[in-house]
Structure 1
């Protein structure tokens, strides 16, 4: 566990890093790089895990770092990691991390010679790069022209065409209004994609399959784009059915050298935002990989690109690939490329910004094994909505001693951190690397089972379930994977019979440990005669309720251990778990499993198994008899209430008290993490009361609106 008081000590040994052997053969280049002069001090114009990631490489290179932080981040990990820190404003990103004037003042104050922008915020802001150049400060990223051209989807598409890069069919211009969008969609042919010209990260994107969806999608995409990037221009193009999202990482220097670091598969997405990435892709062959890499290099050269960048493609079932966009910055998922190539991408960015040529040629780049990255978010995995709160427990599955020497975790939080509504709800990036894809996936599954996070909801249940889905294991994936596998949303894991027995056995073991601790389970005379210890057997008859099913259980306790008999079937459990531990590592019927203990309410244990939450009721025979007579609680209907599904800001309200509305109509727009979410009417009826007004901040499950009950309208 991390506590604030010992962060400084622990930061001397950065967590979450592991090294892969470099595929290059010119080892003398490393010695030359160590003697290179780059910068004495770099300011990182970002926060969270990416700021911490950049700082680690800076420290390895002997470069001092400056953190900028908002009021909300004054005690954050990236602020503690840096050699210096400067407050740049209030919690809202527009007043702090997007405040160019404040960041430029921080540069003046600290004497930083260069700025690394990370990703998001000002990383692809041409104006910011221009102002840095005027101030004589190096921007660790591409030149202003490349940012400008590639940051505009229309201009980037035209540039790609000139560079002979494959592009998606669509309209070469800005869509004026919703009706023109419908007309163009009919010409192109459904389905179509509406997307912000200056957008990115899934902001301002909507897929439409008919005229009505095009009209609604135009309005929502325009609102999202305006909020996220202050530019509501939209494009429209053909939506490639059954596509894979595959991207090529490139590196380029000012001497004209440009190379590609192979591909990353990023098809597992929800709401156009990536969830799991891997490198390489299961789908590409060497010829397709080379062709995509060469086209990415051609595009980079067309805009005189330098630094790190990523060219994103959509790939169809026949391995035809189409240019999607170019991100002129470091990508969230860059660690998996570092694992499979041995290249420190941040280091190369810093070197290039200092005027040095790349350390690598194309011949140096190979593929070493397989790497997978899972984005661990604070969110409700069933609703796909952000979660906020205080991290009361945070234990990472990391370190060789714990059996996780092939795991890397990039994070910007520690135990005691707060996940706020102001920024992206990412907790960490969990990366595993192995000789084969299955090795990497096995390591990822184990790491997810051991990852202990308390205080906020998180998406580990979904991540854990995805990587065991047959289609995913086979590599049969598209960008529609989540909506196809979970058509009604993720409902949690349905336990197999074996998994249920594992959970029941673990719960009974925990119950017995508690009973032993209170000296109520084993009689004292059990320990009277040492020679007879192995013959002493104490049997406790229990009833266990799991997922609305009752199971008769016998806990058979001997001096040599505990055995659990579930519905007359014997289950062996071997574990050293003790009361107070949040994680049980056990061998149950010969299989290694991890069960997390969250809390206990009387006889009810709240546990996690394979990432999912389960409530297990463990009763002795007398309690079970009394329980059978207890009445079931009746559910109080809340169908007439509209509650906030997540913390956010009410941007617009589209109804008024007394309005008659149809089920499914848009009542209001809620914004959180720069995403626009329409809240729809759960029923047909009359609006009785609206509890909020526009621009109000709301918390999860706050009451927003109330309908009149049917009997009140009769």
Structure 2
């Protein structure tokens, strides 16, 4: 077994690898850039080596710097995690030449499967079902349009190298094919240093289902079931689960056997994933093989009980697999929610800054038998940088069945406290309560179809509004009585606290009466609804559990002006609790209007302006591309919302802008 493993990565996956290495009694080495000097993976490792400036192109993906760190520390093995150098065959060869073990597959398999064009040819030869498409290289946008017409729209334009949703665009017509080709090419070059592009047919109503494979260096290769990864945004997975709610046993077996056949065709060993697109009739087509550990590997670990990182280490050390295909049993259901530093209220644009509060839910087995797991690489007080992937954490839940796992995830998200940056917790919570998701009726178009105008938050239904109003009434009663006691002790006269109140919450105005009950506070609404409510909340607590009408809910609570901001299950509302007379007067107050920015193009996220496509005096049409901004390795095209004339361009290509900084004005 190895004595010391260097992790050629950062963030949560570096922390994840360190945990398995520690379990095996193996020393670990972290590498870090300027931006990661105080990162969690650096603190967790036994040793840490600085490898350069913040941009990954000057640190994490510079092979020689990793080799230098290996020599400096005497590491005898390297785990690459995912991304960065994990699917770089040159890196694997360099380690081999150095006499250091690569904890991953053989270089020949990385090279064959890392190139999507080559991998599809190998898959077809191995008898694996593939999607129709053009597997040759495409020189320019004109050729891309011609090929797209030959295949038939819609088509998927994809980078030959890399993954993670980078360098991918769907085109439904010639204009989108032309623009998508250039954007994919730019992203591919920026992310992978390889701008080769190919085109394939886009399968409508598709599900993204992948098979986890695991093999050793002695010819044993097996599959560990599937993962459903259909909840995606911009081809980036957001929520995954295992197993899939769609597959039957026969399809699972067929997909698994084809995945193993493909692996054997390239002499594969270690952990890997074969991705398929599956249509509504359970026809499946090979997409690509990821020759590395997947981001979503925890859900497979939770339903199989197999530590994939540990098995990768053992395989790299020359050990045989300790189990056979018949030993692999799928137990229960697991869900993974990717917590991203992306603001769902601003079309999921990246957000950076300091985590002023970071309190994940308690991990481990709960009283109801469900399990919570949180893979993370950040900590309270740490910084979310613009240089890397926006992932904060991967929150996972396990339960004996799917709906219980979904319920456990909803509660775990309620209990997850993150402040200081924009993040997608409200969106993840909304999905868990969405009926289509709960029914398992998923496709890769789920987000686009269910949230066509973007995520605008969850509007409380009447029953939920009553629950939150009861929470607000309890908080108000507590603070009113506390204030009365304090003032009474000073003035030797305690003022009475009223029982009648009006709660305004979104579009709801709910008159109610508060009284003491046998087991706590009782809230009686004028419409006849009666809810008993109790809690351990105290002033200053930003999260508390409330028992409302016999149901326990976790609510985030904070002051907002004269009201209380309450966040629960994707709802984010301000509840004002007023006396009937004050409520009557409040209705007469004018509403403050937001400033008019309709004639401005503002930078929607912190990032670098990569191009300005118009100049002062130009007339633009609705939907026309105006500028591109790159942030967290993704290129974002900014378009005109309406027809107009450019009055002034305030930004230049190459300039770094903050969120809402002016790019251009219109007449």
TM-score by structure 2 length? 0.96
Q: Report whether the alignment pairs 1:191 with 2:154.
A: yes
Aligned to 1:546: 505
Q: Distance in 1 between matches of 2:478 and 2:606?
A: 39
Q: Which moved more, 1:515-524 or 1:204-213?
A: 515-524
The aligned counterpart of 2:357 is: 393
Which of 648, 661, 664 is matched with 1:689 structurally?
648
What is the rounded CA distance, in whole Å, between the counterparts of 1:72 and 1:517 in structure 2? 46
1:186 CA drift (Å): 1.8
Determine if contact 2:365/2:371 at 8 Å carries over to the other structure. Answer: no
CA deviation profile, 1:650-690 (whole Å, cap 9, x unmatched) = 11110112222222211111111111111011232222222
**Distance in structure 2 (CA, Å) of the matches to 1:439 and 1:552:** 35
**Matches of 1:512 and 1:572 in 2, distance apart?**
14
Of residues 580, 583, 588, the one that matches 2:540 is 580
Q: What secondary structure does 1:198 align onto?
A: coil
User: Is the deviation greater in 618-627 or in 40-49?
Assistant: 618-627
Residue 281 of structure 2 aligns to a residue whose secondary structure is coil
Matched, 1:418 2:387: no
- Contact (CA 8 Å) 1:512, 1:521: kept in 2 or not? no
**Over the residues paired in the alignment, what is the CA RMSD in angstroms?**
2.2
In the alignment, the residues of structure 2 paired with residue 214 and residue 565 of structure 1 have an alpha-carbon distance, to the nearest angstrom, of 59
Change (3 A) 1:403 1:377: farther
Q: Deviations over 1:625-647 (max 9, x none)?
A: 44234222233321001111111
Q: In the superposition, relative to structure 1, how do residues 400 and 50 fare at CA in structure 2: closer, same or farther (>3 Å)?
A: closer
Tell me the CA shift for residue 217 of structure 1: 1.3
Structure 1 residue 478 displacement after superposition: 0.8
Aligned to 1:365: 328
Task: Provide the C-alpha distance between the structure 1 equivalents of 2:64 and 2:255, rounded to a whole number of angstroms.
Answer: 40
Distance in 1 (alpha carbons) for counterparts of 2:655 and 2:457? 32
How far 1:577 moved relative to its partner? 1.4
Say which of 467, 478, 489 aligns to 2:432. Answer: 467
Q: 2:576 aligns with which of 609, 617, 620?
A: 617
C-alpha distance in 2 between matches for 1:115 and 1:121 = 13
Corresponding position of 1:276: 239
Structure 2 CA distance for aligned equivalents of residues 90 and 402 of structure 1: 43
Partner residue in 1 for 2:72: 109
Alignment of 1:2-151 (within 5 A): 38-151=1-114
Q: Distance in 2 between matches of 1:201 and 1:211?
A: 25
Q: Post-superposition shift, 1:568?
A: 4.7
Contact 2:106 2:268 (C-alpha < 8 Å) held by counterparts: yes
Offset, 1:557: 4.8
Among candidates 506, 509, 512, match of residue 474 of structure 2 = 509
Change (3 A) 1:629 1:244: closer
1:667 equivalenced with 2:626 (yes/no): yes
TM-score between both structures, scaled by the size of structure 1: 0.90
**Equivalent pair of 1:391/1:416 in contact (CA under 8 Å):** yes
Are the aligned partners of 2:433 and 2:569 in contact in 1 as well (CA < 8 Å)? no
> Does 585-594 or 628-637 show the bigger shift?
628-637
Provide the aligned length of Structure 1 versus Structure 2: 663
Query: How much has 1:543 moved relative to structure 2?
Result: 2.6
**What displacement does 1:544 show?**
2.1
List alignment gaps of at least 5 residues for structure 1.
1-37, 529-535, 709-714
The answer to whether the Cα contact below 8 Å between 2:387 and 2:633 also exists between their aligned partners in 1 is no
Q: Quote how far apart the aligned CAs of 1:192 are.
A: 1.0
Aligned residue for 2:159, secondary structure, equals strand
Q: SS of 2:190's equivalent?
A: helix
* Structure 2 residue 207 is the aligned partner of structure 1 residue 248: no
Q: 1:600 to 1:287 in 2, by over 3 A?
A: same
CA shift at 1:174, angstroms? 1.3
State the alpha-carbon separation in 2 of the partners of residues 373 and 227 from structure 1. Answer: 28
Q: 1:482 pairs with 447, 452, 460, which one? A: 447
Kindly tell me: are residues 559 and 373 of structure 1, through their superposed partners in 2, closer, same or farther at Cα, counting changes over 3 Å? closer
How far apart are the structure 1 equivalents of 2:610 and 2:113? 30
The SS at the match of 2:22 is helix
Counterpart contact for 1:640–1:682, Cα < 8 Å: no
User: Does residue 1:292 correspond to 2:244, yes or no?
Assistant: no
Gaps of 5+ in 2: none
Once the two structures are TM-superposed, the CA of residue 501 in structure 1 deviates from its matched residue by 0.8
Q: What's the offset of the Cα at 1:115?
A: 0.5
Farther-moved stretch of structure 1 (617-626 vs 607-616): 617-626
Structure 1 contact 538–558 (Cα < 8 Å) conserved = no
Cα distance, 1:185 vs structure 2: 1.7
Alignment match, 2:463: 498
Counterpart residue number, 1:8: none
Supply the distance in 1 between the matched residues of 2:367 and 2:638 (Cα, whole angstroms). Answer: 45
